[in-house]
Amino acid sequence: MKQNNMAFTYLRRVYLGDTDAAGVVYFAKGLEICHEAYEQSLSKAGISLMQMINQGKTALPIVHAEIDFLRPLFCGDQLQVSLNVSQVNNSEFAIAYEIFSVNDLNQILVKAQTKHVCINPQIRKRINLPSMMLEWLNYFQ
């Protein structure tokens, strides 16, 4: 597995709608925050998800996701999400996420990972990652 140290971070505030009845970020919202960071990293590299979807030749579904909350996240918390990407093979990549409070970047609050597979959405078969995604994997080196 090729590992890249991707120098991309995403800042986000926790909103009330991100929290559950216990007042903490719900696990699915945690993954949503990570996905927002992924989308922002693509945008930063000049990749348009809207264009990819409209062309209908490439899809990058998540086939595995996991998240560990090491500390709770509360409404109003200011977060920094850091990404680390790796190419698994010709048709797969993984993203490791670490979420920190902007007030203490030495303590990881959340760790998450998603694994994506590149497919042709018309025939639902694996295809090689397109050059734009290979460039994204190397963008921040």
Distance, in Å, from the CA atom of 97 to the CA atom of 111, rounded to the nearest integer, reads 6
Selected catalytic residue, list 20, 68, 77, 104: 20
Phi, psi dihedrals of residue 98, rounded to the nearest 5°: -130, 130
Phi, psi dihedrals of residue 114, rounded to the nearest 5°: -130, 145
Check if 20 is active-site: yes
Strands 8-13, 78-89: pairing is: antiparallel
Q: Which residues are known to be catalytic?
A: 20
